[in-house]
Each structure stands twice: as structure tokens, then as C-alpha cells.
Structure 1
Amino acid sequence: MPACTGLTVHNKSRVLEIGFDDNRTFNIPLELLRVYSPSAEVRGHGAGQEVLQVGKRDVTLLDLQPVGNYAVKPTFSDGHDSGLYTWEYLYDLGANIEERWADYMARLHAAGFEGDSGREPGTVLPGAAAKPHACGHHH
């Protein structure tokens, strides 16, 4: 499993930039990160129990805490902080971003939220340079 080599939160463009040691870098929209939170609150307690998260287009990150050397725990601007994102989970999200975004859009539209999200996958708004985070290693 690739290990994380660098994390940068771009709150202005609302993406989490994450690099891995297989030289892949992903820009995961914070909205996608939030709606695919691995927490029980979002995942539910089994297949089909997922809770659709809406109105998360403008969500930003207030904090990103390393958890051991295997995960991070973000605190989102809407107060959500119970998701534990492992490198494996983030890699999977990043590698399948188009598919995940399409699935999220389909679920939003099915629930009657037309275009709740204003961004297409892969579009990164120009943002100020952000402060990189270490991947679970304290300096």
C-alpha cells in the first residue's frame, strides 16, 4: 500500500492535495472528502444505510490531525470531526475521484438536489499556496 508523502489543505480552492510514495498526487475536493467521510454518522451501520450529505459545497477544513502513521482526522467547518481517513482510504478516494463524484452527483439528483455542488470533478479553483501538513510524522 502506498504511504503518504505529503498533505496540503487548500481551503481557498477547497481541495486536499495528497502525495504518495508511488509518485501519485491527488487533489481531492473537500466536499467529496466530507460527503465520503468514513464515519458512522455518514456511512451508516451497513450497506444502504449511508446518509446523503448535502450542502457541503463550501465546506473547508479547520484542522487536520495525524493519527498514528496511518491516518488523519480532519475537522470540517460544519463541525464534522468523527471521520478517520486512512492513507488507503484517501488513496482509493483519489484514484477513483471521477467515479465517486459521479456517484455523489447521481445520489444528490435522485434526492431532488439539482446541482447542489457547483464544481465538476477535477476542477481546482486557483487558490493561495497552503501550508503543507506532515503525514503523521511530527517534525
Structure 2
Amino acid sequence: MTEPTTEAPQPPIAAAVVVKDAKVLLVRRRVKEGSLSWQFPAGEVEEGESAIQAAVREVREETGLTVAESKVLGERVHPNTGRTMIYVACDYVTGEATVVDNEELAELAWLEHGQLAEYVPYGLFGPVQEHLDEVLKN
């Protein structure tokens, strides 16, 4: 008889969808996660922290920007990583985006709506795409 595993589930990942001046912020990780290269600033939700708080913290730690959460766009198990993802729309507050976490990030980019498919060819999660379709109108 096999003993059931009591391994704790992995914490969810909070992803920040940051928009400024009709452009969205994407970062390129030094180490790809499956086919993922360009993605939103993101990281694990730490103990005692909400997904919204984690998204705001990750943006600051990775890019130096100060952002404020706007709303949770949706949640899913990511088809490429198997991790629970919580997507949070964030409003730019202050700062100049730079690669602060050199160990995790290679570069970052502010993209217009028409550039998204070039950087994210596999498409975005539906609620995130709908949000960006709305806020990135030119």
C-alpha cells in the first residue's frame, strides 16, 4: 500500500499586467519556462500575502516601478507550466522601468497592442487579452 504524499502545493504565481501610455510591460526571463520567454512581471505569492500584493511587489523587485493594483483579471492553471496563475491589472504610479533583478531578468519592453503577437506568439489568457484590447486602444 502506498502512503499518500503530504507535499504542500506550490503557491500560486501573481502576474502584473502593467499599462502606461497605451503600452504594456513585458519582461524576458534569463531562464525560459517551457516555451515562455517574454511574460508579465510575476512571482510566487508569499505566505501572508495576497495575489494583488504579490503582483505589486514583484513589479517593484523586478523593474523598480511603483504600481497600484487595479483589479484581478482572472486565474488559471497555466498550460505550459502547470502553475496556478493569478493575473492582476496594475496602474503605473511612478518610476522608470529598468532590469533591477539581473539574476532573473534579461531585458524588458513596453509594447503597443500590435506588437504583442510578436513577443507572445502563443497568445494570452482570454481575460488578459480582453483587458489589453480595451486599455491599449490607440
Shorter chain as denominator, the TM-score bin is: 0.3 to 0.5
Give the TM-score, by structure 1 length: 0.33
Give the TM-score, by structure 2 length: 0.33
